[in-house]
Amino acid sequence: MKKENIFVETYGCQMNEYDSDRIINSLGANPVSDAKSADIIIVNTCAIREKADHKAISATGKYQKLKKENPNLIIGMSGCVAQLYGKKLLKDIPYLDFVLGPRGIPKLPEIIKGIKDGTSHRTIETSMDVQDVFDVNPYHQEGKISGFVSIQQGCNKRCAYCIVPTTRGNEINRPMKDILEESRILISKGAKEITYIGQTVNSWKYEKLKFYDLLNHLQELEGLERIRFTTSFPRDITSKMISSMKNNNKVCRQLHLPVQSGSNDVLKEMNRTYSIEWYRDSILKLKEAMPDLALSTDIIIGFGNESDNDFEQTMNLINDIKFDTVYSFKYSVRPGTPGEKMKFHVPDKVASERLQILQSRQREITLQSNVEKVGKIFNVLIEGRSKQNPDDLFGRTTHNKVVNIKDIDAKNIGKILKIKIIDAMQNSLVGELN
């Protein structure tokens, strides 16, 4: 039987990218890059901010025309917007065939079958009470150098602004043997680097094992050259985790550690459960153990009562720590979160101004960090053809910096090579074989 063509449009975090690959694999379908040639179209959505969810809903609109041309086309919405609005989406979007929450992916084959044979029509699957959340492995393209493996679903933290516990449910940790098994599948298909993902990845525990034990076991995987993991939660950084990272020759020198704010008052309102002193101290310990560790973070601007003084403390933090990258967002009120009930909100104009100040300062810091790399030599894992110029290849340093490389043969894809940095851009480096 001919495989069906599937087109998945993905929004949001790495978890969603991973889920899109699970969607593809669950159906054994053939992924296509052009929606016009698809038998099934799925928009895998993100609800983290209001803009993201509007974008995802309007993205679905562009496929209505294709459905008119081909009535057999199946169109579905998955991900966090699907989970959040459920039934309402079927009502508002008349050409939508199904709505599927993040925990429902193992049920997708059944849903598609029902729609095709007419036994079900306009299906909705948003149950949170699902035991087999990890049952479907992701599609991994043969020869792809870097891939994701999920180690955790959902989140047990209750940050006041965040919708993830609503859309993805409570934390469920994946058994280590399944993590190892999926890693081996990726490696057998050519992956050299795996990023282990979860909402608070370093809170992973399973039976007697903790996250640092997992790192130690992952190091043993034959053929795996690099290990990354994201996203870490500050309060779950432990000295054992730091020493395991330090002594693990596969763990990259990169850590994404969202701080959200530099002010204790705001952190408290956010219910982040750590103080800024704790955060700074963790960074000190990490840097002491791994002086070349590259750090990145997330910051929310304009949450709750954030004052000029609170904002100044956030600016002090980014000036002191000098993150390689800061992902910063204006606070967006999300339905059903504790933040929704807060009375005071920073006026939009003020939040926009603060965001602009922070982003423009951070651009300088990021560029400075890139410029400092010129003339130095780094081990770069070559991943594929450069997006800007297909004659060049690209790869990443252990610090997760993208390097575009000129005059290099494509047979080097998959190798770790010594690359000399010859130029620095805002978001990437340029290098040549040393």
Which residues contact ligand 5AD (rule: CB under 6 A)? 48-49, 161-162, 258, 260, 298, 300, 329, 331-332, 334
* Closest CB to ligand 5AD among residues 56, 421: 56
Q: Distances in Å between the alpha carbon of 153 and those of 174, 177, 212?
A: 8, 16, 18
Give least dist CB 303 to ligand 5AD, A: 8
Q: Distances in Å between the alpha carbon of 189 and those of 146, 224, 266?
A: 10, 11, 46
* Closest CB to ligand 5AD among residues 199, 386: 199
Give least dist CB 300 to ligand 5AD, A: 5
Q: Which residues contact 86 (CB under 8 A, 6 or more apart)?
A: 99, 101, 124, 126
Give least dist CB 298 to ligand 5AD, A: 3
* Closest CB to ligand 5AD among residues 98, 329: 329
**Alpha-carbon 410 to chain mean position:** 28
d(CA 118, CA 42): 19
* Closest CB to ligand 5AD among residues 296, 398: 296
Give least dist CB 48 to ligand 5AD, A: 5
Q: Are 102 and 84 in contact (CB under 8 A)?
A: no
Tell me phi and psi for residue 62, to 5 degrees. Answer: -70, -15
Give least dist CB 333 to ligand 5AD, A: 7
Secondary structure of residue 356 in the 3-state scheme = helix
* Closest CB to ligand 5AD among residues 53, 383: 53
Angle at 268 between CA 265 and CA 270, to 5 degrees: 110
Tell me phi and psi for residue 36, to 5 degrees. Answer: -65, -30
* Closest CB to ligand 5AD among residues 156, 379: 156
Give least dist CB 395 to ligand 5AD, A: 26
Written as one string, the DSSP assignment of 45-87 is E--SSHHHHHHHHHHHHTTHHHHHH-TT-EEEEEEHHHHHHTH
Give least dist CB 151 to ligand 5AD, A: 18
* Closest CB to ligand 5AD among residues 305, 412: 305
d(CA 161, CA 184): 37
* Closest CB to ligand 5AD among residues 161, 311: 161
- β-strand pairing of 40-45 with 393-396: unpaired
Q: Distances in Å between the alpha carbon of 145 and those of 56, 195, 206, 228, 405?
A: 29, 11, 28, 13, 16
Give least dist CB 99 to ligand 5AD, A: 22
* Closest CB to ligand 5AD among residues 61, 335: 335
Record the tokens describing residue 324, joined without a space: 């390689």
- Classify residue 295 as exposed, middle or buried by CB count within 10 Å of its CB (0-12, 13-18, 19+): buried
Give least dist CB 237 to ligand 5AD, A: 16
Closest CA to 305 of 342, 277, 348, 250: 342
* Closest CB to ligand 5AD among residues 161, 279: 161
Give least dist CB 400 to ligand 5AD, A: 17
Residue whose CB is nearest to ligand 5AD in the complex, by number: 298
Record the tokens describing residue 328, joined without a space: 């910063």
